[in-house]
Structure 1
Amino acid sequence: MASTPNMDSDRPLSVKELTDLGLQYDFLPQLPLNRWYRAAEVVYREATHYLRDGNTPQAFMMFQRYCDLVMYKLRTHPDINLPESRPQYKTLSKRIPAIIELMESMRVEIDEYYSRWEARMRAQRRSQPPAKSTIRLVDPALSWNHASPGSILDARSNKDLAIEMANKERLRRRNATKMAPSRSSRIISEDELQRRNMEAVRNQLDRSYRTSDTNDRLQSTNYSYPSIKQSASLSYESAPRRPSPPPTRPMPPRPPKQLPEPSRPPSVSPPPRPRKELDTEACVTTRSQSPVRPPKEALEPVPEPKRRYTFKPEKYLENGDPIRSIFLPESLRRRFLAIAEPNTKRGLEMCGLLCGANINNALFITHLVIPDQDCTENTCDTRNEADIWEFCDKEELIQIGWIHTHPTQTCFLSSRDMHTQASYQAMLSESIAIVCAPRYEPSWGVFRLTNPPGLPEMLKCRKTDPFHPHDVPGDQLYVNALQPAGHVIEADLNVDVCDLRGKT
């Protein structure tokens, strides 16, 4: 993967720059075609997640990569014409027209952002002498929409906020799954209507505010006016209509207007109407005790833009490319070991898939998927990948890595493990491999291949034995990915377990 070009720290990326970045990836035909199908799905999911977060530039770049991978690169794969390969390729290709149409509208937005930035820069140059630009390597995911800027946060320092975001996204997805009548085209249509949906939310907030304001004013009316109505019914001209007092106690004569009214027992008649100026004061006093009607302009408030966040890269690869933070549920390893215990007792390896979502430029592992697999003492290979594909599509998940046991060995990545990890990391730079060795210390570890030299070395290697040497020393092929040295952060997150064994 080529490095991102240098640029001013606050400058948005242009359409051309985003397009060029989208095309900067390595396509390796020697990898199995199903791995590239999975890679295309990961790219598509990431694009939809970024678009849902409002990060239009990054979504545009990922959609560009998806189109190039499906329309051009996959067609050159040696296995593309096999009968079993065509159905999945057809599924990926069906998305292309809708994506291209969506990208055209995104292009207009990105051009507008860039033009507004240029206008702001020209105004600044006219008003003050040009200063030396601050140049840095920019992650395209941080190329902000200047119409709705966001806050760039450190993931490790804002763990609680990250957990809150993950929980909200989980709830949103579950609600969306319940409401959606069809899963076949729902995601792309959501992306096309994202801005309309945001406007609908704002309108709903406006209506809720107006309804609440109207209710408050109605309550204020019912609270303030009874005393006024009671006084209004008592006028001097209407005195004959008053109820007659008992015969034994005739009503006293009306006192002069300038003299204060004598007090009367409640059983005789209601109190007299106060003077007009006192009526006004009473009205003001009564109203001052009730909710005050807001000014007219407050009836239709303009809600503040939704607060947007993005997490900056946690670490960088050896080649300088940024990699995002991964939030790993603390309970995941314990739950996986409980499922793998029967195999562990028999000395057989077992694996699971780490799936999740990209939320605000950070990766959250939300699901542990146990696939059908063939297990031996030194290997575990997945089967029925169509079930995995279907599940991830249904839940809108991307595969972030994998976990497996070493029931009879220490905690390390074998040659076979590194080859498996390379197939993940070629699709997603942040991908991780978790190894659990219950009988040894350390009993577990989280790893990633170095890039370079680890990932290129694995991709060019053609050996298949579980334990074979490489041209690069073993201690340079992979590194610890767990904090503080790496980009993986343990957090108190919920994890769902899906066991696909025996489903087909």
Structure 2
Amino acid sequence: MATTATYMSLDRPLSVKEISDRALQYDYLPQLPFNRWYRAAEVVYREATHYLRDGNTPQAFMMFSRFCDLVMYKLSKHSELSIPEYRSQYRNLVKRVHTAIELMGPLRAEIEAVYNRWEARMKAQRQSQPPLKSTIRVVDPALSWSHAAPDRILDAKENQDIALEMANRERLRRRNATKTAPSRSSRMLSEDELQRRNMEAVRYQLDRSYKKPDTDDQLRSTNYSYPSIKQSAPLSYGSSRPSSSPSRPLPPRPPKQPAEQYRPPSVEPPPRPRKELDAETFIPQRSQSPIPPPKEALEPRPELTGRYTFRPDKYLENGKPLRSIFLPKTLRGRFLRLAEPNTKRGLEMCGLLCGINLNNALFITHLLIPDQECTENTCDTKNEADIWEFCETEDVMQFGWIHTHPTQTCFLSSRDMHTQASYQAMLSESIAIVCAPRYEPSWGIFRLTDPPGLSGMLDCRKTDPFHPHDIPSDQLYVDALRPAGHVHEADLSLDVCDLRGKK
């Protein structure tokens, strides 16, 4: 259903108007509960901040614009806004609108400057030579900033090692930031100030000047153990040998060093180095070629130093791009172990898939088990305030959900599709994982088609767990796992948080 208006020359950046128009292209249904739209607004805002941190100016501007429109022009008229709890949540969203507007000012100026430079270049080319037929592609604001550096647009499948290393670095940065972060109470009181401070730090990185060497160097040194030369000698295997044998007159015999250690028994201080050298006796076979492994590990790093992004992995039925999702291989096994008590009793159980948006790719890093009510055919989350608090604390977004079918086969029921629609309405890449341990296939990863599945679920008013639709069932949802879909299973670490029974 993509029209010719959705195509452009390969090197053309998007204008502010084009990005603003795309920001308004989302489906809003006022009949959906306010808490679902509150969740959607949270996702949009976090997406914007993550894109801003990556330096993806057009996409950050688009998501901030969408957030402002959703809060100020849509949710302000929601019928459930009279409920005190929802009114309080709406006030929090309005505060973030003010922060978003402040951040959009410099973003707009940057987008206009890039577009004006492109326009001037095209004008000069038209005067000097006739225009050439250029390659066309679907417009994606996430790739618009790379118009002058197409080599910085990477394929997620071909560069999976780079993607995982990038995700590990980001997780390490966040953990280090959490250690130095203020207490929860003080952070919640000054949320806007902290958000603004965080965005200012990001802006520093976008100005092509690495004026934060302490954080960058800290990431590199903590993420890789081998370059830690400036630390104590016992930690660096390469430097421990010369440090323990400077007084030896026979340094040209490094392999016989273990035998030389028996010469100075009179020296009492070396018991500690002797233990470390004993451990090193197992390393010579491995460390005979210590140089190649570091070189192999360092090879992908040059790509990580510049400004780049991952191209869309797949496309929706309407032609809109889908970002790659990296899913930990251990997620299903860990979730099924937690769900085993419910599975034995024939009760469903659900978990939320949370993670980070980094360089136009999504990484699932957390499995959140919310407080929930479970039956044979349903599982409904409770205490959603705890979920929002968790996402805020860990600075993660919800990318979908996972649940069990203890007595049924692997498929999306009518109720499941309605739940999936609430996720996918604002985040097209959202996925639903179904685990059916008693049947084959025992699991599946799905997304609604768009169209007709998503629009069909949003328009449907039926509430029974199993009810028919006017759309054929085989057209409502599709497999989201590669190679058919946009989800990659990868060796990605996973954190699990269980909120059940916690006050």
Q: TM-score over 0.5 for the alignment?
A: yes
Quick check: 1:156 aligned with 2:164? no
For the 8 Å contact 1:56–1:145, the answer to whether it is kept is no
For the 8 Å contact 1:148–1:305, the answer to whether it is kept is no
Instruction: Name the aligned partner's letter for residue 201 of structure 1.
Output: Y
Q: Which has the larger radius of gyration?
A: 1
In structure 2, what is the equivalent of residue 201 of structure 1?
210
After TM superposition, list the pairs within 5 Å mapping 1:107-256 onto structure 2: 107-144=108-145, 151-181=152-182, 182=187, 184-185=191-192, 186-197=194-205, 201-202=210-211, 204=213
1:197 Cα deviation (Å)? 4.9
For the 8 Å contact 1:19–1:64, the answer to whether it is kept is yes
Question: TM-score, structure 2 length as denominator?
Answer: 0.78
CA distance in 2, matches of 1:192, 1:65: 21
Aligned length in residues: 410
CA distance in 1, matches of 2:149, 2:52: 13
In structure 1, what is the equivalent of residue 101 of structure 2?
100
In structure 2, what is the equivalent of residue 18 of structure 1?
19
Instruction: Name the aligned partner's letter for residue 489 of structure 2.
Output: E
In structure 2, what is the equivalent of residue 71 of structure 1?
72
After TM superposition, list the pairs within 5 Å mapping 1:262-281 onto structure 2: none
1:378 Cα deviation (Å)? 0.6
In structure 2, what is the equivalent of residue 471 of structure 1?
470
In structure 2, what is the equivalent of residue 452 of structure 1?
451
CA distance in 2, matches of 1:395, 1:16: 34
For the 8 Å contact 1:150–1:308, the answer to whether it is kept is no
After TM superposition, list the pairs within 5 Å mapping 1:476-491 onto structure 2: 476-491=475-490
1:327 Cα deviation (Å)? 0.5
1:472 Cα deviation (Å)? 1.0
For the 8 Å contact 1:152–1:309, the answer to whether it is kept is yes
Q: What does the per-residue CA deviation read over 1:158-205, in whole Å, with 9 as the maximum and x for residues that have no partner?
A: 111111111011111111222233352323331134232566734748
Question: TM-score, structure 1 length as denominator?
Answer: 0.78
1:125 Cα deviation (Å)? 2.4
More off after superposition, 190-199 vs 331-340: 190-199
1:330 Cα deviation (Å)? 0.3
1:395 Cα deviation (Å)? 1.0
In structure 2, the residue corresponding to 1:366 is in which secondary structure?
A: strand
In structure 2, what is the equivalent of residue 399 of structure 1?
398
CA distance in 1, matches of 2:84, 2:175: 36
1:146 Cα deviation (Å)? 6.0
After TM superposition, list the pairs within 5 Å mapping 1:351-370 onto structure 2: 351-370=350-369
Instruction: Name the aligned partner's letter for residue 176 of structure 2.
Output: N
In structure 2, what is the equivalent of residue 372 of structure 1?
371
Relative to structure 1, is the Cα distance of residues 348 and 131 closer, same or farther in structure 2, using a 3 angstrom cutoff? same
CA distance in 2, matches of 1:203, 1:338: 43
In structure 2, what is the equivalent of residue 342 of structure 1?
341
Aligned-residue sequence identity (percent) comes to 73
In structure 2, what is the equivalent of residue 330 of structure 1?
329
Relative to structure 1, is the Cα distance of residues 82 and 203 closer, same or farther in structure 2, using a 3 angstrom cutoff? closer
For the 8 Å contact 1:347–1:407, the answer to whether it is kept is yes
In structure 2, what is the equivalent of residue 500 of structure 1?
499
After TM superposition, list the pairs within 5 Å mapping 1:34-49 onto structure 2: 34-49=35-50
CA distance in 2, matches of 1:76, 1:394: 29
Q: Which runs of 5+ in 2 are unaligned?
A: 218-301
Instruction: Name the aligned partner's letter for residue 69 of structure 2.
Output: D
For the 8 Å contact 2:482–2:488, the answer to whether it is kept is yes
For the 8 Å contact 1:435–1:445, the answer to whether it is kept is yes
CA distance in 2, matches of 1:201, 1:388: 35
1:150 Cα deviation (Å)? 6.3
CA distance in 2, matches of 1:58, 1:154: 18
